[in-house]
């Protein structure tokens, strides 16, 4: 078996291993081995092939890690009830100073308290400021 075939085979084995492991480590080795295998068709001394392999692994590892973080990073989007912060709706049951009322946001009705302990009348447009358990802390919408 020729040396270029060994490099390419090693590269393919590493790429197959990468399928079953996270982290892009084996992908770096696999692609670098394929690059070294292609260079072995041109450059015959083995030490140059190993140098090309090492440089390729280093370069690919650094760049594939950055690429994977960029591709697989999850934006910190609020979920569940926290996603309601900043949304607007309207009051369906009056919110008084000492008791909670109800607001409707996006087709759902939520218990709500006023942020400044003031009264908000029915059908008043509101904006959600905070979430406290299952209650929304709201204030009157200011244009």
pLDDT, one tens digit per residue, over 82-121 is 788 888 999 999 888 778 899 999 888 999 988 776 788 8
Task: Indicate the SS3 state at residue 84.
Answer: helix
Predicted confidence at residue 44, as pLDDT, reads 84
Q: What is the dihedral of CA 114, 116, 119, 122, to 10 degrees?
A: -40
Please list the residues that pair with 125 across neighbouring strands.
Answer: 90
118 vs 112: CA distance, rounded Å:
12
Q: How many CB atoms lie within 10 A of CB 36?
A: 28
Question: Which structural domains are found in the chain, ordered by start?
Answer: 3-72 (no CATH), 80-140 (2.40.50.140)
Sign of the alpha-carbon torsion through 35, 38, 40, 42: negative
Burial of 6 from C-beta contacts in 10 A (0-12 / 13-18 / 19+):
middle
Q: How confident is the model over 7-37, as pLDDT tens digits?
A: 999 999 999 999 998 777 899 999 999 999 9
Burial of 31 from C-beta contacts in 10 A (0-12 / 13-18 / 19+):
buried
138 vs 59: CA distance, rounded Å:
52
Instruction: Write down how long the chain is.
Output: 143
Instruction: Summarize the confidence of residues 41-58 as an average pLDDT.
Output: 93
Q: What does pTM read for this prediction?
A: 0.52
118 vs 136: CA distance, rounded Å:
15
């Amino acid at each position: 078996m020729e040396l270029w075939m060994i490099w390419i085979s090693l590269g393919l084995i590493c790429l197959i291993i990468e399928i079953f492991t996270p982290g892009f480590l084996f992908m770096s080795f696999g692609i670098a081995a394929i690059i070294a295998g292609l260079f072995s068709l041109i450059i015959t001394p083995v030490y140059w092939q190993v140098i090309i392999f090492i440089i390729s692994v280093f370069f690919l590892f650094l760049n594939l890690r950055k690429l994977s973080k960029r591709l697989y990073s999850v934006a910190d989007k609020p979920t569940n009830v926290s996603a309601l912060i900043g949304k607007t709706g309207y009051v369906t049951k009056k919110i008084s100073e000492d008791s909670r009322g109800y607001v409707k946001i996006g087709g759902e009705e939520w218990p709500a308290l006023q942020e400044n302990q003031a009264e908000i009348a029915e059908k008043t447009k509101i904006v959600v400021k905070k979430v406290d358990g299952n209650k929304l802390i709201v204030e009157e919408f200011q244009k």
